[in-house]
Amino acid sequence: MEASELDALARLAQSGAHEALRALVEAVQEPLRACIAAHAAHPHQVEEALQETLVTAFRRLDQYRPGGTLVPWLKQIARNHLRRDLRDRRRFAELSDDRLDSAVIDAQLDRLERDEDADEREREVDRLRRCLGLLPDQFRTTAPPAKSRPPPTPAALPRSTAMAPAAIA
């Protein structure tokens, strides 16, 4: 489903349309499940985190500002739930002195951070595309690529920039 269609459903759901909310959940469930599964340590965490994400999103739906970013907004909620769960597990691992589990959890937290950075870059590209889409056609052309030249060889440099061996010592 396109971002604009999801936004339309979100607006309807914000106004209390239960069918729109149901359709919204059905539309975003799989992309969210895939995002969560990429970060969850155990399969049982996927469904739990998905439910927590959807409940949080339902409670905060009035805070969502339609603009083609519903799925990234939901993924951020999911990552926040996963991060909280991982931090809780890390505290437990530290209390039980389980260094291997602590190391695995730290790696998962690092991966979450990297994926957030990638999602932010993706959102920036989407915003740029929308802005470019607003430009008239004559302004949406790209400049030809600059011709690349190999760097000059030392022999091709002017003599005034060359240093004598005695000046270097």
Residue 157 has φ and ψ, to the nearest 5°, of -75, 150
Quickly tell me which residue has 């302004």 as its tokens: 139
Confidence of residue 88 (pLDDT cuts 50, 70, 90): confident
Q: How far apart are CA 103 and CA 109, in angstroms?
A: 10
State pLDDT tens for residues 19-48: 999 999 999 999 999 988 888 877 888 999
What is the pTM assigned to this prediction?
0.58
Taken in order of first residue, the domains within the chain and their CATH numbers are: 3-140 (1.10.1740.10)
Confidence of residue 85 (pLDDT cuts 50, 70, 90): confident
Residue 152 has φ and ψ, to the nearest 5°, of -70, 150
